Structure 1
């Protein structure tokens, strides 16, 4: 029983580290960038919020890829506006 809990924690560790890294960026680095350059977010929620949500919901690989794709779209030719993390198909059906 204890071994199963330990294995589950080890499996979730990279995801927690990634979400923590995004949180540190949002707390320490993002305010400095906004003070120097002003707010430059084209999307709502911001890319860092999107990255944290995507990694928490989909895991480090798929959520990280979603976050990188969102950052790549953040350019003058990319989109803008409200763009939240997609809802998983199983959550739309009621968690079957």
Structure 2
């Protein structure tokens, strides 16, 4: 009985598992922000002093820079968004890492995977 077709299939499965494990924390936090934006954020209304909103900034920061850099960027942005801040346009710088942002906003590190 043949479990995998092709000689590199076991390595391919391991690589896909590695990609999943590497992107899981990032995608988990992205899912949290997406739920926040859909359910909680409409209750507050448009109160953010910056563009994009703090949740939009956090989403882009996580997508572009991952958990280790994106979370501190998001926390710093939320701390700056207060009644004494003038606000303004504050966009996330694009990462040089090869990432693919899929249709729902989740991230894949596999550069061979096309956008869906």
Q: Same fold (TM over 0.5)?
A: yes
Q: Which runs of 4+ in 1 moved over 2 A?
A: 76-79
Aligned-residue offset at 1:82: 0.8
Aligned-residue offset at 1:5: 1.3
Unaligned runs of 5+ in 2: 1-10, 98-116
CA RMSD of aligned residues (A): 1.5
Tell me the matched-pair count.
86
Aligned to 2:38: 27
TM-score by length of 1: 0.82
Task: Give the structure with the larger helix fraction.
Answer: 1
TM-score by length of 2: 0.68
Deviations 1:23-69 (A, max 9, x none): 000000001122xxxx2110011000000000010001210110000
Preserved contact between residue 73 and residue 79 of structure 1 (Cα < 8 Å): no
Unaligned runs of 5+ in 1: 92-96
Pick the structure with greater CA Rg: 2
